Amino acid sequence: MKHKKFKQSMAFVAAALIACQPVAASAANFADMNQVPWPGAEASINKAADLGLVVGETKNGKTYFRPRDSVSLAESCQLAYKLLQQTGKASADAKVTEKWSTVMNIYGIQEWAYPAVSFCLEKGIISISNLSSFMKNGSNLPATREQAATILGRALTTGVPSYSANAITTKFNDNASISSEAKPYVALLNQVGVVNGDNVGKFNPKSTLNRTETAVMVTNLHGVLQKATTPITPTNPTTSTQSGTVNDMNIRYVNFKDSNAYYLYSSTGTTVTVNGESSSIDALVKLFKENKTITATVTLDSNYRVTKLVATYEEEKKEEKATKGALTKVKYDEEDDDGYIVIEKNSTYKIDDADDVDIEIDKKEYDLEELYDLFTKCEKDKETIQVEVTLNSKGKLTKIKGTIEDSSSDSVKGEVSKVNYDEDEEEGYIQIKGKSTKYYVKDTEKVTVTIDSKSKDYEDFYDLYDDDKYLYVTLTLDSKDYVTKIVASTKKSSSKDDADGKVSSMTYDEKKDKGTIKIGSKTYNAPDTDDVDIDITDGTTTIDDWKELYDAYKDKKTIEVTVELDDDKVTKIKGKVTEAKGLLKSFSSNSLTIEGKYSDTNYKYKFDNDEDEMEDVDVDIDGMSSVDNLLELIDWLDDFDKNEDELDLVLKLDKNGYITDITGELD
């Protein structure tokens, strides 16, 4: 994109001032630098970002500066406050913020701006009467150029009392348009090289200030404030080293408490050590600005310049942290001997050196490669590794301790409708009311049976059924759906029951706030849907009310649930979405977002963006014969235009809500 010749007014910009600023033009890496209003301004934007005076806005993985957006009066106060803090001319004071909080509230100032605006009120940079022009209908109002110049000019005289603002006129061709209150500060900022006129010598005081102009102005003013202090050098110190607690410091000098001597750093470089480790002046200044109490010893050369600075400060003591949960992923890089683990699909812990981590599963020691092999085996065997990880004070993973649990079993509950028993073959099956499935017992001698909290055998269970006894059971199933455990009750209870299975039908009367849910062939009532506790995992989100669940059902999702009842009324629904359908709306490196056809709701589902894992996800979409796996699908989607075509998808999900299989149709 070519820059057009800049013709509009620029009150705060002069090419000569930009050219002389020693900045790194690529430091901030904003994605919209091609939108700056004039060539050369990028340098000032980047320097302002490096100084922490301006920040960008991150969207879709990119950071934008918004160079043409306006700057508010509250932001102008924030900049003044930051400039004075960063150059050692001001410090945070919670008491000042508290003092002015009532005034802030009266004028509707947003809380993020309280410290800065309070400081400006306390120092007379603004007055209470100015606050009426800060907000309108809850929104920040933009600053005009003369308003911003007044705030920043007063900040300069506050931080450096040797500067005064006494002029009653300025050199600008539109001097008559500048308010009498602003003129002294506009003249001062012009005098020190912070602001300049446009190409016809005008200041344009009533025009609003944009973010690019602001970046130029604050970087110029930062330089003025930084150079304003003339350190007092020591006179004939008694030794070549000086020690003390740091009272003041910046990137040019250090000063100790109870001393008026400012020790300048050597022009040839100063060696810095902090808490026994090699460091830098910038890092030490950052610690000082974080209000750390720093003790230092400086070594001086013959000109009393600091050639070596050894500093110490008390680091915050952090206790070791422990996190528990199921391992959902283990990665190991044999070449680099590093990797990472994931707990409960959301918490990722990086391992930089596998030798630094102690791993113990079921009281047996493992290394990271062995843990990877064990995890892979457990996945195949439908077992889960439950772990507790320990982190040191720096957040590094140091220990993994866990146990293997059988996650292959499932359970079904309900009233028994039939029991079969073949004594000769020692096998049988059980059926539950409302379910057509036969739950087979492969070996009646090995199945565990408990009846009314007493240990029994399968023949006892069969005899009770044969005696026409009421039997309510919980059946535990293995990975092949054979019954391994029977817990039965012969006591009817009308107060408590539950049902398991897929949601086959739902209703919802929003006006009357009632509905029904059908599991298998039986329908259950919810006379007050607000009283139903709902917890359904749906990809990256959780369904927690009846309407959301009803929308998910209408969007033809497959929903596996357990419904708890009280007097045949639904009290709780817990479960997960195992299959989702909808039109593709967007995608990223680790997720797909689809839109439900009924609800128009966008649903986001994640996948593992590791290439090997993506290749394991099967993709079968009509109209896309060249795409067989998720990795190929994501590559294909880079050229997909959803405005021209529709991609109707069916996503199968695992127990953690991750995509495992994709089918669909391209229209």
pLDDT in tens, 347-370: 788 888 888 899 999 888 899 999
10 part of a folded domain: no
The predicted model scores a pTM of 0.36
233 part of a folded domain: no
Confidence (pLDDT) at 349: 87
Domain match, 339 and 305 both: no
Domain match, 170 and 36 both: yes
Sheet with 410-422: list strands edge to edge.
Answer: 438-441, 427-432, 410-422, 472-477, 483-489, 448-451, 454-456
Interval 485-497 mean pLDDT: 72
Interval 466-482 mean pLDDT: 85
291 part of a folded domain: yes
* Cα four-point dihedral sign 35, 39, 41, 43: positive
Task: List Cα–Cα distances, 477 to 80, 116, 442, 447, 573, in angstroms.
Answer: 68, 64, 11, 11, 21
Higher pLDDT, 394 or 181: 181
User: To the nearest whole number, what is the mean pLDDT of the chain?
Assistant: 83
| Least confident residue range of 73-87, 220-234, 598-612 | 220-234
613 part of a folded domain: yes
Domain match, 537 and 656 both: no
Q: Which of 348, 262, 359, 351 is nearest to 305 (CA)?
A: 262
* Type of residue at 642: K
pLDDT band at residue 16, thresholds of 50, 70 and 90?
Answer: very low
* Type of residue at 372: Y
Q: Is the pLDDT of residue 39 over 80?
A: no
Residue 215 — φ and ψ, nearest 5°? -60, -45
User: C-alpha angle 35/113/162, rounded to 5°?
Assistant: 90
Q: Is the pLDDT of residue 236 over 60?
A: no
Report the percent of the chain where pLDDT is more than 90. 34
Q: Dump pLDDT digits (tens) for 573-630.
A: 998 999 999 999 888 888 899 998 888 888 999 987 777 778 888 888 888 878 888 8
**Which 8-state DSSP code applies to residue 172?**
S
Interval 523-540 mean pLDDT: 90
Q: Is the pLDDT of residue 343 over 60?
A: yes
Is residue 177 within 8 Å of 205, Cβ to Cβ?
Answer: yes
Domain match, 248 and 220 both: no
* Cα four-point dihedral sign 540, 541, 543, 544: positive
Domain match, 51 and 177 both: yes
Interval 262-282 mean pLDDT: 86
Domain match, 401 and 416 both: no
Q: Is the pLDDT of residue 24 over 60?
A: no
* Domain limit, last residue, from 370, 390, 406: 406
Tokens linked to 55: 């920040």
Residue 29 — φ and ψ, nearest 5°? 60, 45
269 part of a folded domain: yes
Domain match, 544 and 586 both: no
Higher pLDDT, 308 or 379: 308
* Domain limit, last residue, from 227, 253, 287: 227
235 part of a folded domain: no
Tokens linked to 661: 């299989």
pLDDT band at residue 130, thresholds of 50, 70 and 90?
Answer: very high
Domain match, 533 and 592 both: no
Report the percent of the chain where pLDDT is more than 70. 89
135 part of a folded domain: yes
For 2-13, letters b (16+ CB in 10 Å) and e give: eeeebeebbbbb
478 part of a folded domain: yes
Domain match, 178 and 75 both: yes
Confidence (pLDDT) at 101: 92
pLDDT band at residue 507, thresholds of 50, 70 and 90?
Answer: very high
Confidence (pLDDT) at 234: 57
Confidence (pLDDT) at 464: 92
Domain match, 439 and 484 both: yes
CA distance 281 to 455: 74
For 237-253, letters b (16+ CB in 10 Å) and e give: eeeeebebebeebbeeb
Confidence (pLDDT) at 403: 85
Q: Dump pLDDT digits (tens) for 284-328.
A: 988 998 888 999 999 988 777 889 999 999 876 554 455 778 888
Confidence (pLDDT) at 11: 31
Domain match, 117 and 133 both: yes
Confidence (pLDDT) at 296: 94
Domain match, 223 and 164 both: yes
Q: How many domains does the chain have?
A: 6
Confidence (pLDDT) at 496: 46
Place of tokens 């320990």: 390
* Domain limit, last residue, from 406, 437, 459: 406
**What range does the domain containing 185 cover?**
15-227
| Least confident residue range of 41-55, 433-447, 529-543 | 41-55
Confidence (pLDDT) at 17: 25
| Least confident residue range of 13-17, 183-187, 278-282, 286-290 | 13-17
Q: Dump pLDDT digits (tens) for 423-442.
A: 999 999 999 887 778 899 99
User: C-alpha angle 52/53/59, rounded to 5°?
Assistant: 75
